[in-house]
Amino acid sequence: MGQKIIQVILILIVSPFLFGLINKTKAFFAGRKGPPVLQLYYDIFKLFRKGVTYSKTVSFIFILGPIISLACSIIGLLIMPLGKYPSIFSFNGDFILLIYLFAMGRFFTVIAALDTGSSFEGMGASREVQFALFAEPALFLSIIALVKLSGKTSLTGILSKSIFSINGLLNPVIYLIVATIFIVFLAENCRIPVDDPNTHLELTMIHEVMVLDHGGVDFGFILYNSALKFWILGSFIAGLFSSIFSFGLFADILIFISIMFLLSIIVGIVESVLARLRLLKVPYFLMIGLGLSFISLIISLR
């Protein structure tokens, strides 16, 4: 138990670091120096020291939104295993709870956005729920395929199965699943090509426009929440690869974290070389994920 708690605390500390890594990668591609790797930590602490400004329109929902979303992500951390090392809670069907926790967080982000009465945030909220409509089934589909492949119905069971050994790497299904989860991962974490985390004020923004009115502590919570969410979904992908090697607990966790770093660098590269999709094309992008996971499911059913 002590080890698991340390594990969770470690993630709570490390996760904002990944965003710094992404931004460094992007800066490298753009030929800039870029913000320091620890920029997100600075931002969050600065926001925590600030006062807040609220709109006269908002109610307590606006304040509750970031809090509940963050709480959902923290609970998510308690469920999401670190590769084959289970987190504090591991039970059969835990991924259902995990996905619905994300939905809970989304519900509150969306109603907090609607609470401001701003048409921009309404727009963002509308898009957020629409894209979730495609992302969620895709995630479920890939989990079905994983459950079928591994014969286990818990996250730890799925991720610790030997199908992801060296031999398993030759299995094409794995790559289809990873591709699907990667697409969902990009969409859920509002990365390019679905969304752009850098700009706040274009009509085409989704997530960033929803939090336009938040400031101070609340925005700090939101930033931290996005870092945690990035870690949780990312560790799904990293977890699939991390069980290939095993060198004991300490080394494994280091390997896991380095895979996460690699993933952030990949996201950085994707963001550097791709343009954001036109808004109307985003559903098609998510549909690709749905299609890929469908194919992986059909193959794994045989």
Positions in 215-244 near another protein (CB under 8 A): 216-218, 221
Residue 32: CB atoms within 10 A of its CB come to: 11
User: What own/partner pairs with CB < 8 Å and gap ≥ 24 does 235-238 have?
Assistant: 235/80, 235/81, 235/82, 235/83, 235/260, 236/80, 236/181, 236/185, 237/178, 237/181, 237/182, 237/185, 237/263, 238/83, 238/263
CB of 28 or CB of 89, closer to another protein: 89
- Can you read off the two tokens belonging to residue 255? 């390997």
Positions in 154-213 near another protein (CB under 8 A): 201, 212-213
Contacts of 248 (CB under 8 A, 6+ apart): none
295 binds another protein (CB under 8 A): no
DSSP 215: -
To another protein, the closest distance from the beta carbon of 259 in angstroms equals 27
Q: Which of 11, 21, 44, 79 binds another protein (CB under 8 A)?
A: 79
Positions in 55-74 near another protein (CB under 8 A): 55-59, 61, 63, 67-68, 70-72, 74
x-or-dash string of contact with another protein, 249-288, rule CB under 8 A: ----------------------------------x-----
- Can you read off the two tokens belonging to residue 290? 């749905």
d(CA 152, CA 161): 8
x-or-dash string of contact with another protein, 111-140, rule CB under 8 A: x--xxxxxxxxxx-xxx-xx-xx--xx-xx
Find the part of the chain contacting another protein (CB under 8 A) among 1-9, 52-60, 179-187, 237-245: 52-60
